[in-house]
Amino acid sequence: ALPQELIRAKRDGEALSPEAIRELVGGISDGSLSDAQVGALAMAIFLNGMSASETVALTEAVRDSGELLAWGGLGANQDLPGPVLDKHSTGGVGDLVSLVLGPWVAACGGFVPMVSGRGLGHTGGTLDQLESIPGYDIAPSRARFRRLVREAGVAIVGQTAELAPADKRLYAVRDVTATVESLPLIVSSILGKKLACGLDALVMDVKSGSGAFMPTPEKSRELAEAIAEVASRAGTPTTALLTDMSQPLAPCAGNAVEVRQAIALLTGEKRGEESGEKTDGRLMELTRTLAAELLLAGRLAESRSAAVALLDERLASGAAAERFERMVAGLGGPADLLERRDRYLPQAPIVRPVHAERCGRITRMDTRAVGLAVVALGGGRRAPGDAIDHAVGLTGIAALGEAVDGERPLAWVHARSEADAERAAMQLLAAIDVNDVGLGDVTLPTLIQ
């Protein structure tokens, strides 16, 4: 059919057949659809939505628009002696789960070919974090990527041009046509890329709260449910957890500072006064829960408690840290990063505490604004292609409900200049509410909903 007739059908609220969807996505990939047609299609989908079946067809068409990785994990070929597993999040602040989870799952017998993204808007990105490690190559050859997944059990890399190319074009058009916030378009975009990686199982971390990409808890829940259903119907067993982003997940946000935190967690070190015990606890709890989901789905553990026991054993033995080190060395980074991180990871020239204007407890945080403060320090991008400063960010971020005063700051700012530090301090003061209340008066959101 003519593309304009298919677009007309969607415009008029009709459901598109899987064949029609495949044809349209083919036209997006091969360029036979014009930008105007792609934009009109996106708007028709935005306004009229899609049924679950249409969303499954769209996801499969996006997935199949480029190269498909195949590993023969649990399947017939037995290329790899274990399941191929992955985690993806909708994006957060202080979200360094991937850096810890990938090596940790690998140490438990999973294989993790993790294709990650860069920071988007106020959120951090795993690739940006990893690029604070000198030499780390986020774009290895396919052969090197495959070898590393086989030998280290984990490789975290960037998207290649061959992976789900339809999404690349569709996303670029959505970005400039006010059609990003559409459930079927988001689901097919995220899953189209992930399901092209030949996974045996996927776990999705869908964020909710002031730092989430979806505007309300209801929309976050809808997204989580849609992702789990569509991915599973498209043949990749997937669970989605709805998790809290009403404060940064880790007690730090930035790039090198998050890599440091990941190394500290993997090696089981206690850090100094900035360690933020409580928030370390939240990050580790979520990472452990997501990893346990994967071990269960990949049949590496018989029960949730057995999964957690295996995880804790492989963390304590140093096996998870060792996988991280192998991944870093295998992708061109230093072989002794864990031992000599201060030599390799960049540090900002200015580090100063930011104190609240009054004593009290933290009652609310605008996590998005905290993320934007990191972007303004240079830790994220204003426009695609901007260079970022890996050294800057925040550490020792106090948690919701925590008491702050003249001794305990809201956070430490790591900045390139005094002026940058001052601006970040102002942004933090505006983003974090401190009130003279008891701990019982602060609503602490559930981490995993």
* Interatomic CA distance for residues 349 and 193, integer angstroms: 38
Is residue 242 close enough to count as binding ligand URA by CB under 6 A? no
Minimum Å distance from CB 120 to ligand URA?
A: 7
Minimum Å distance from CB 195 to ligand URA?
A: 12
Instruction: Note whether 443 and 367 are within 8 A (CB).
Output: no
Minimum Å distance from CB 223 to ligand URA?
A: 9
Is residue 190 close enough to count as binding ligand URA by CB under 6 A? yes
- Report which of 368, 346, 322, 351 is spatially closest to residue 259, judged by C-alpha positions: 346
Q: Which of 118, 194, 288, 323 is catalytic?
A: 194
| For ligand URA, the closer CB: 214 or 388 | 214
**Other Cβ atoms within 10 Å of 384 Cβ, number:** 9
Sequence-separated (6 or more) residues with CB below 8 Å from residue 268: 315, 316, 321
Q: Which two tokens stand for residue 39?
A: 């934009």
Minimum Å distance from CB 167 to ligand URA?
A: 7
Minimum Å distance from CB 218 to ligand URA?
A: 18
**Other Cβ atoms within 10 Å of 446 Cβ, number:** 9
Q: Which of 63, 87, 282, 326 is catalytic?
A: 87
Is residue 253 close enough to count as binding ligand URA by CB under 6 A? no
Which amino acid is present at 294? L
Q: Which of 29, 59, 63, 88 is catalytic?
A: 88
Which of positions 144-183 make contact with ligand URA (CB under 6 A)?
A: 171
Is residue 189 close enough to count as binding ligand URA by CB under 6 A? yes
| For ligand URA, the closer CB: 186 or 256 | 186
| For ligand URA, the closer CB: 164 or 391 | 164
| For ligand URA, the closer CB: 179 or 427 | 179
Radius of gyration of the chain (CA): 22
Q: What is the b/e burial string over 304-339, where b = at least 16 CB atoms within 10 angstroms of the residue's CB? A: eeebbebbeebbeeebbbbbbbbbbbbbebbeebbe
| For ligand URA, the closer CB: 185 or 391 | 185
Minimum Å distance from CB 189 to ligand URA?
A: 3
Q: Which of 59, 116, 189, 395 is catalytic?
A: 189
Q: Is 87 a catalytic residue?
A: yes
Minimum Å distance from CB 67 to ligand URA?
A: 17
Q: Is 323 a catalytic residue?
A: no
Is residue 45 close enough to count as binding ligand URA by CB under 6 A? no
Residue 143: what are its φ and ψ, rounded to 5°? -65, -40
Q: Is 65 a catalytic residue?
A: no
Sequence-separated (6 or more) residues with CB below 8 Å from residue 12: none
> Strand pairing of 393-395 and 350-354?
unpaired
Minimum Å distance from CB 21 to ligand URA?
A: 17
* Interatomic CA distance for residues 406 and 398, integer angstroms: 13
| For ligand URA, the closer CB: 236 or 261 | 236
Q: Which of 86, 95, 128, 366 is catalytic?
A: 86
| For ligand URA, the closer CB: 118 or 390 | 118
Is residue 186 close enough to count as binding ligand URA by CB under 6 A? yes
**Other Cβ atoms within 10 Å of 375 Cβ, number:** 21
Q: Is 207 a catalytic residue?
A: no
Q: Which two tokens stand for residue 123?
A: 């959120």
Q: Nearest-CB residue to ligand URA?
A: 189
Q: What is the b/e burial string over 211-225, where b = at least 16 CB atoms within 10 angstroms of the residue's CB? A: bbbbeebebbbebbe
Bridge partners of residue 157, in order along the sequence: 115
Range in contact with ligand URA (rule: CB under 6 A) among 38-46, 124-132, 185-193, 417-425: 185-193
| For ligand URA, the closer CB: 7 or 223 | 223
* Interatomic CA distance for residues 88 and 193, integer angstroms: 11
The site string for ligand URA over 279-308 (x = CB under 6 A, - otherwise) reads: ------------------------------
Q: Which of 29, 126, 182, 367 is catalytic?
A: 126
| For ligand URA, the closer CB: 167 or 325 | 167
Minimum Å distance from CB 383 to ligand URA?
A: 18
Instruction: Note whether 238 and 204 are within 8 A (CB).
Output: yes
Q: Is 194 a catalytic residue?
A: yes
Q: Which of 122, 168, 174, 326 is catalytic?
A: 174
Q: Is 10 a catalytic residue?
A: no
The count of residues interacting with ligand URA (CB under 6 A) is 5
Kindly list the residues in this chain that would bind ligand URA in the complex (CB under 6 A): 171, 185-186, 189-190
Residues annotated as catalytic are 86-89, 126, 174, 189, 193-194
